[in-house]
Amino acid sequence: MATKRYTLSIFTENSPGVLQRITIMFTRRKLNIDSVTVSETERRGVSRFTIVLEVDGALIQKIAKQIRRIIEVLHVDVFEEHEIIAKELAFIRVEPVNDAEREEILAIVQQTEARIIKDEEQNIVLEFSGTREETDALCDHLTPFRLTEFVRSGRIAIPKKGVTHEEAIRLAV
Amino acid sequence: MTASRKPAATEKLSAEISGSYAVLESLVRNGCDTIFGYPGGAIMPIYDALYDYRKKIRHVLVRHEQGATHAAEGYARVTGRAGVCFATSGPGATNLVTGIADAMLDSVPMVCITGQVAAHLLGTDAFQETDIIGVTMPITKWNYQITNAEEIPAIIDKAFQIAEEGRPGPVLIDITKNAQIDMCEYDHTPKPLKSYVWSKPQPKTGDLERAANLINEAKQPMMLIGHGILISHAEEEVRMFAEHTGIPVASTLHGLSAFPTDHPLYTGMLGMHGNYGPNLLTNEADVIIAAGMRFDDRVTGNVSKYAPDAKIIHIDLDAAEIGKNVGTRVGIIADAKEALQGLIPLLLKSEHPEWIARFQACHHEEKEKVLDRDIFPKEGMLKMGEVVRVLSEKTHGEAVVVSDVGQHQMMAARYYRFKKSNSWMSSGGLGTMGFAVPAAMGAQIGAPDRPVVAIVGDGGIQMTIQELGTIAQEQLPVKIVLLNNNYLGMVRQWQELFFDRRYSFVHLENPDFQTISKGFGVPAILVEKREQLSEAMDRMLAMDGPCLLEVRVEQEQNVFPMVPTGASVSEVRLD
């Protein structure tokens, strides 16, 4: 089975339990989700789930149809990597031991698009938004400088071609 | 309970009533006339209100909540309306689980209402608290917990709408005790639903045209029908389709009775123990028109070897079924009735005499090797098939037949000759032993003027045998034919054929079913010899009330034809 990375955009009514209803569709087939992000949309009462996973292409289409069947689900899109603009947010804590290291970290910050959001002597927190690969690359650069903490959000994604869900959520609450 | 909590006797459009009364008013306005249930602590306020609704709603006190669910399924399948169950929290609710899963897999509309501990106790491991919403989430079409009385009317309306609309299924509504007791404003005018909009998909003209072209050019076409034909009442459309195109028709287990068994274009049942012709010739068909069925693995056998030469046209209301198990050339997402109505005018009048002759040849072979021995045995112990044949003759193919799960199920499915639509129900998807007795009970309540006969085995009946008490209390004229072979027969058959006859825990030392049945107040008749069968069957059918007819049958009989697990349908065995 050839697997690929897919991103699902799922629009739902904003009510308790919807996350569980959606994840059941993956767990019953023993699939592991890479990331989930949930937020309210431009429309009040409508939530947007962005789910990323590596899976077989025929299977993801079947699962998408089963997710669409959930009563609270209004619309489902399945995207391949080239169809979306996708980013994640990361916080990285580094603890330089001397000024030389500190200078090197600041240089890395300048080369990338990272931002310093806390700057104390031995406690620098960086914020970075980018693709998973860009975040990984930044971490690789920073590892020599006592990278002590790293957290990143799930992916958020938006289709390049424009809005796809307008009609589906028009009928919602 | 004070009088002020009851609905006002005057016909005001809006009134303040307790949540419990709101539940019952909402049930009545959604057409509920029967509840199968069992009371307990967390649902007592609703049961108290139910006391005032005894004239509007018949409550059937089952002996176990699983019985309530199967009875609701039986009721739903004969009426086409949602069956309703009541249960208390904790064990009452968890006892519903098997029946809910059964209804989910077999697309049966059901509304289960469970009591729950008061909202302030949720999550505290309170007495009889179970997270029934979490438990039933994967096995319901929808579920919802009500913690506020004001939500009750709209949520119950929505529950019925979801259970009955589109592809039917079970819905569970969990109501905390405080919401049952608190007062709420009840608006007697029907309200439009705010939160759930479902529009029925219409068949697309392009899909119908592409399907029609395939059918018009087909040389060896087959039509496969399933439960969806009965749900959408498309029996007449199937007959018109078949007679116009001359295409042979085969049915899934759940499609039985949608097409008359004695129709010249009917070729029999599909699947693991279906008929020889429809299984074998599936793999020679060039076009398959599948309507209201879902290509279950019991139908397809080894799916990678299924219908290799066929272009498949799949009609189903549920878009998720199209392409789920088999690849389709044309998917028509629509109600079977509407799809066939759209398709028939596009089809050329045709006949396929040579192709039909192939099915007839298969039928002759099956008749010689299996059927005659099963239903017209000359000697030896009584056989399951002949009991079904005698029942079929004596009820003129017009009874509602409810089967349990196992060998007797396949015998009933194979040998009852259905003349009337909507006359068969069984646990197909989940294969739930214990289904038949309570389901027959519900079917009899839903169809009081039809004869209802349960066909059960000695294993399955003992899983829900206590519902004989309910049948006696309600004086339901349900007839139960118990085919007793002292074995879990289907498992024994597999052990014989595929596990070197190592009979691992399949023999049953049974109780005296005659005494048990009579003890419950259900008259019982025992048949041990062939010459007793006809007269005993007559006596059973002549009884005004319930009756159990126990027939001692050959112990180690096998069901054939058979498509072994993992084999292709074309490898169907006759012995």
Task: Name the CA radius of gyration of chain B, rounded.
Answer: 25
Phi, psi at residue B449, to the nearest 5°?
A: -95, 0
Check if B65 is active-site: yes
| pLDDT of residue A132 exceeding 60 | yes
Residues B178-196 have pLDDT tens digits of: 999 999 999 877 665 555 7
Residues of chain A with Cβ-Cβ distance to B104 below 8 Å are none
Size of interface A-B (CB pairs under 8 A): 29
Chain A closest CA to B320's CA: distance in Å? Answer: 5
- Nearest CA-CA distance, residue B226 and chain A, Å: 20
For B235-300, the DSSP string reads HHHHHHHHHHHT--EEE-GGGTTSS-TT-TTEEEE-STTS-HHHHHHHTT-SEEEEES----HHHH
Give the Cα separation of A12 and B316 in Å (integer): 24
- The shortest C-alpha distance from B297 to chain A (Å) reads 17
Helix axes B436-446, B467-474, angle to 10 degrees: 20
**Residue with the larger pLDDT of the pair B170 and A97:** B170
Neighbours of B249 (CB within 10 A): 26
Contact between residue B96 and residue B172 where contact means Cβ atoms under 8 Å apart: yes
The predicted pLDDT at position B5 comes to 55
Q: Give pLDDT, residue B3.
A: 40
Distance CA A101, CA B124 (A): 52
**pLDDT in the model for residue B95:** 98
Interface test with A, best of B145, B195, B295, B321 (most A CBs within 10 A): B195
What chain B holds in terms of domains, given with CATH numbers, is 3-187 (3.40.50.970), 205-359 (3.40.50.1220), 381-552 (3.40.50.970)
Q: How much is the pTM?
A: 0.95
Asked if A71 lies within 8 A of B196 by C-beta distance, the reply is yes
Show residues of chain A in contact with B197, CB under 8 Å: 171
Residue B380: enclosing H or E segment and its boundaries? none
Cα–Cα distance measured from residue B145 to residue B151, given in angstroms and rounded to the nearest whole number: 10
CB A22 within 8 A of CB A49: yes
CB within 8 Å: B137 and A68: no
Q: pLDDT digit string (tens) for B322-361?
A: 999 999 999 999 999 999 999 999 999 999 999 999 999 9
Reduce the DSSP state of residue A161 to 3 states and report it. Answer: coil
Contact A171 B318 (CB under 8 A): no
Q: Are strands A115-120 and A123-130 parallel, antiparallel or unpaired?
A: antiparallel
Position B2 confidence tier, pLDDT thresholds 50, 70, 90? very low
Q: Residues B25, B36, B65, B562: which is the catalytic one?
A: B65
Count how many Cα atoms sit within 13 Å of the Cα of residue B141 in the half-sphere of its side chain: 27
Report pLDDT digits (tens) over B450-496.
999 999 999 999 999 999 999 999 999 999 999 999 999 999 999 99
Condensed to tens digits (0 to 9), the pLDDT of residues B385-442 reads 999 999 999 999 999 999 999 999 999 999 999 999 999 999 999 999 999 999 999 9
Burial class (CB within 10 angstroms; exposed 0-12, middle 13-18, buried 19+) of B269: buried
Please compute Rg for chain A using Cα positions. Answer: 19
Report residue A74 CA to chain centroid gap. 21
Please confirm, yes or no, whether B217 is among the known catalytic residues.
no
Residues 6+ apart with CB under 8 A from B442: B36, B70, B71, B72, B73, B74, B75, B76, B78, B83
Chain B nearest-CA distance from A158, in A, is 25
Chain B residues lying within 8 Å of A62, measured CB to CB: 320, 323-324
Contact, B436 vs B455, CB < 8 A? yes
Per-residue model confidence (pLDDT) at position A1: 66
Tokens of B320: 């998720």
Q: For chain A, which domains are there?
A: 3-84+160-170 (3.30.70.260), 86-152 (3.30.70.1150)
**pLDDT 10s digits, B350-401:** 999 999 999 999 999 999 999 999 999 999 999 999 999 999 999 999 999 9
Please give the C-alpha separations between residue B331 and each of A144, B410, B440, in angstroms, as whole numbers.
Answer: 57, 30, 35
